Homo-oligomer: A and B are copies of this chain.
């Protein structure tokens, strides 16, 4: 009863992460009802991003510029490099505002099960960036999953070969800020206990 144009829009919206058929229908109706206020500005914004945003050739971040704003910022520290799985993680690090160095987006993590090897990720590019000697510390900000930790170990081993003097660290594990012990899993509590520190 909705016609092929609206059906197609709802199908495409329903494929977006976090949207199902019901929310896709709601979004489609909202956009049709607010054509001038919501649909046309969204089309313009999407077209603008599709046309102008590209991955940064240095770090892999998305920006209209290449190198991206983070890579081009002269105030940032060239000696520290933060390795993240994807651009979402780079943005999360930037929101936290706790890191002032440069980034390197891997584009995934190693996975034997899914056949993702080092050459499928930006690991060779990372080695090339670190071999130059300007980078003195690499922070592996990868997820605390099996694949994330495997990837961290493989990267640490490979970087030790190409840049022997490099300091390689990974994010600390423990109780999240605002977290209650009662709601934490056993692995996190164990990791927090092992990482205990004097008060």
Contacts and interface: CB of A to CB of B under 8 A. Distances in A.
Q: Say which size band chain A's interface belongs to.
A: 35 or more
A67 to B, nearest CB: 13
Given A5-B64, A12-B45, 17 more contacts: A1-B91, A1-B94, A2-B63, A3-B64, A3-B65, A5-B48, A5-B49, A8-B48, A12-B38, A12-B42, A16-B31, A28-B49, A29-B86, A29-B87, A32-B62, A39-B46, A39-B50
Given A25-B88, A38-B12, A88-B29, A52 B19 contact: no
Contacts of A62: 2-3, 6, 29, 32
9 contacts: A5-B53, A9-B45, A9-B48, A12-B38, A16-B30, A17-B26, A17-B30, A29-B62, A29-B86
Contacts of A38: 12, 15-16
Contact of A27 (B16, B43, B65): B16
A140 to B, nearest CB: 20
A158 interface: no
A196 to B, nearest CB: 32
- Residue with the greatest number of chain B CB neighbours at <10 A, chosen from A12, A13, A23, A41: A12
A166 B1 CA distance: 27
A-B interface, 3 closest residue pairs, ranked by CB to CB distance from nearest: A1-B94, A9-B45, A18-B23
A91 B2 contact: yes
A153 interface: no
B25 A49 contact: no
A15 to B, nearest CB: 7
A86 B32 CA distance: 12
Contacts of A88: 25-26, 29
Contacts of A19: 18-19, 27
Interface string A136-180: 000000000000000000000000000000000000000000000
